[in-house]
Structure 1
Amino acid sequence: MYIKSPLLGLTALMTVSVGRAAGAEREPAEYIKICDVLGSGYSYIPNTETCLRIGGYVRYDIGLGDVRSYDSARTSDVRTGEDQGTWRNSTRFTFKTWTGQQTELGALTTYTETQVNFGNSANSHDSPQNYDFNSGLALASAWVELGGLRVGKEGSAFDTFVSYAGNVLDSMLVPSAGFDTNVAQYHFDAGNGISTVISLEQGSGSAGTIDSYIPHVVGKRCSQATALSSSLLM
């Protein structure tokens, strides 16, 4: 009898201690908090009010045939004279990020896009027929926008504001203008499908070059309701 009593007391003490420990367990920490202010796919960066979204894609293109030139009627490229009578393929990996947060001046957002391209050409790896040029990491876009004012690296507003070349199937038939440039541009959305952009850009015929102390000026007004677009390029 005197031996069992201490054992019963110890058992009761262990039961109470375990019960208190179980009751004191905290709920699992929520490491990822969904941010639905900017749309689907965003989550808050821990300990900040900044929302982050990550995306990207892998693309594979293949083409073949004799005709692949700007005039759509020759078997050689009008720029280089290279024979186009072969098949070609290319692969692209793209990594994208979006961030955003609300400020007193409006939404502060950023966007980056990084690409890696690989293409097999008919001749050497740097052949004009290899339109991907087997590039390393390439910065396609990196900009910051606050209240409609966007600065950074982006495609020219002459292309991007109207979704590039639209529904053109082959850019070799309808070539687009110069693309890569640093920009300082302002977007204004009047509502009802009417929007305007004015963009200060640098560059000339080749990407990454400056040909004047005065930046290029691109202005566009677009109406989705009437499917009309007017442009100004200086």
Structure 2
Amino acid sequence: MNIRSLLLGSVGAMIAVSDARADAIVVAEPEVAEYIKICDVYGSGYFYIPGTETCLRTGGYVRYDIGLGDVGSYDHARTSAVGAGEDQGTWQNNTRFTFQTWTGQETELGTLKTYTETRMNFGNHNPSGPDNPHDHAFNGGITLTYAWIQLGGLRVGKDWSAFDMFIGCAGDVFDQMLVPYGAFDTNVVQYYFDAGNGFSAVISLEEGSGAVGTIDGYVPHVVGGVKNTQHWGAITGVVAYDSNYDSVASKVRVDVNVTHELSLFGMFGYGSNGKLNDDSTNASDAHGRGFYKHWGGNWAFWAGAKYKYNETTSFNVQLSGDQLKNYGFATNVAYTVVPGFTITAEVDFDHYGDFPLAMVDPSNVNWTNADKKNSVGGILRFERSF
């Protein structure tokens, strides 16, 4: 009986202690979940950053390119055979991941926006030169393509030059630079004006980039442009002043919407040499033409067309040329397999009128590393955008 009483007493004590501990535990009230709110003010894909009035959108793409062809065309990958050590061509391969962000917020001074784009590459699409005679596959590092802030019409930060962004690129082909048409990477201080009736304008102060393009004093490069957009298309003009060389370049572009399926464009460029020729023997000048007038001679042209065969298939073509008899032709067909995934095949042809200059006198560095006067290349691109 004593043992039984002892056991019962122990069990009772344990239950009493457990009840006391249970009474002491305080369970916190669950916090109210803060769900993401959709923001449709700036288009699809935006949502409010929790706790703020800022709308955010993220996106990007994953791309794989495979190309082949002559040096000077879209493909210019070279390698040395491991066995014989002979120089030979190889596939040009490149994989890219791009991450993009957009933000928007309404303020008393206008819409506050930002845009960023960061690119990462792996492949053998790398420039050849005396220190890198062949292209090897490796991680290309991280490239900051865009990173700007805009309040109302004022934009500051990293962008592509208004000389190209405002007037538009030379068509929807991959190799738009068979005949170069302008400059790209630069820090900017810009102001955009939109009248609301189709008329818009821009003034841009730019730093430039590269060994020759970056400003070498306190005077910036200056770009100005005007545009009139209507239901039939648009007409645009831009003028750029290169402060390093006291040279001026300009472009005029006309876009025409012929039908719902067919659209055309034509662009003409003209530039003065200014003091560009003063440094023509500088091998660090990849073009010998300053930051804006990259084409050969005073004038150049670019023309093209886009035809939408149906909702999934489109055709693009571009023809270009300049005063020094450099000519390019590019055409592609793009097929959307499923929404967000597109496969595009392109063929390029280029003819270099001033080609012998780079071969006879290496100090006259040309804007192409072509090893013959005419070259043909092709590329197959797989791209998943999101």
Q: The TM-score by the shorter chain falls in which range?
A: 0.7 to 0.9
Aligned mates of 2:90, 2:182 — CA distance in 1: 26
Question: Contact 1:143 / 1:153 at 8 angstroms: preserved in 2?
Answer: yes
The offset of 1:227, in angstroms, is 2.9
Which residue in the other structure is 2:107 paired with? 103
Is 1:170 aligned to residue 162 of structure 2?
Answer: no
Map of 1:103-142 to 2, 5 A cutoff?
Answer: 103-120=107-124, 127=132, 130=135, 134-142=139-147
Secondary structure of the 1:203 match is: coil
Query: Letter of the aligned partner of 2:222 in structure 1?
Result: V
C-alpha offsets along residues 69-112 of structure 1, whole Å, 9 cap, x if unaligned? 49xxxx99xxxxxx895431211100111111110011001111
Alignment of 1:139-150 (within 5 A): 139-150=144-155
| Identity within the alignment, % | 66
Distance across 2 between alignment mates of 1:227 and 1:216: 26
Is 1:60 equivalent to 2:72 in the alignment?
Answer: no
> Residues 61 and 84 of structure 1: is their aligned pair in 2 closer, same or farther, counting only changes over 3 Å?
farther
Partner of 1:213: 218
Kept in 2: contact 1:181–1:207 (CA 8 A): no
> Which amino acid letter does the alignment assign opposite residue 235 of structure 2?
L
1:111–1:143 contact (8 Å) kept in structure 2: yes
Cα RMSD, aligned residues only:
3.4
State the alpha-carbon separation in 1 of the partners of residues 155 and 176 from structure 2.
27
Does residue 94 (structure 1) correspond to residue 98 (structure 2)? The answer is yes
State how far apart, in whole Å, the 2-side matches of 1:54 and 1:153 are.
Answer: 18
Q: Which whole-Å CA distance do the structure 1 matches of 2:71 and 2:128 have between them? A: 20
With over 3 angstroms needed to count, the CA separation of the structure-2 counterparts of 1:42 and 1:169, relative to structure 1, is: closer
Q: CA deviation at 1:206?
A: 4.2
- For the Cα contact (< 8 Å) 2:167–2:238, is it kept in 1? no
Measure the CA separation in 2 of the matches of 1:180 and 1:171.
Answer: 16
Superposition TM-score, scaled by structure 1 size = 0.73
1:69–1:172 CA contact under 8 A, matched in 2: no
Instruction: Look up the match of 1:232.
Output: 239
What's the secondary structure of 1:175's corresponding residue? coil
Cα 1:156–1:57, aligned 2, differ >3 Å: closer, same or farther? same
Report the 3-state secondary structure (helix = DSSP H, G, I; strand = E; otherwise coil) of the residue aligned with 2:45: coil
Residue by residue, what CA displacement relative to the aligned partner does 1:143-184 show, whole Å, maximum 9, x if unpaired?
Answer: 100011100011111111123223344234122423111000
1:47 aligned residue: 51
**Closer, same or farther in 2 for the Cα pair 1:62/1:214, shift >3 Å?**
same
In 2, Cα distance between equivalents of 1:87 and 1:66:
11
Query: Which structure 1 residue ranges, 5 or more long, are not aligned?
Result: 1-24, 77-82
> Counterpart of 1:224 in 2: which secondary structure?
strand
Instruction: After TM superposition, give the deviation of residue 217 of structure 1 in Å.
Output: 0.5
Distance 1:207 1:98, change over 3 A: farther
Q: Per the alignment, in what secondary structure is the counterpart of residue 227 of structure 1?
A: strand
**Cα 1:34/1:201, change in 2 over 3 Å:** same
Aligned twin of 1:186: 191
Cα distance 1:157–1:133, how it changes in 2: closer, same or farther (>3 A)? farther
Q: 1:123 to 1:220 in 2, by over 3 A?
A: closer
Q: 1:206 to 1:161 in 2, by over 3 A?
A: farther
How far off its partner does 1:211 sit? 2.1
Contact kept? 1:84, 1:129, Cα under 8 Å: no
Where 1:64 maps in the other structure, the secondary structure is strand
Verify the 8 A CA contact 2:115 2:148 in the aligned structure 1: yes
Q: Matched residue of 1:191: which SS? A: coil
Pair 130,32 (structure 1): closer, same or farther in 2 beyond 3 Å = farther
Q: Deviations over 1:172-202 (max 9, x none)?
A: 4122423111000011112333221110001
Aligned residues: 201
Q: Once structures 1 and 2 are overlaid, which stretch shifts more, 147-156 or 216-225?
A: 216-225
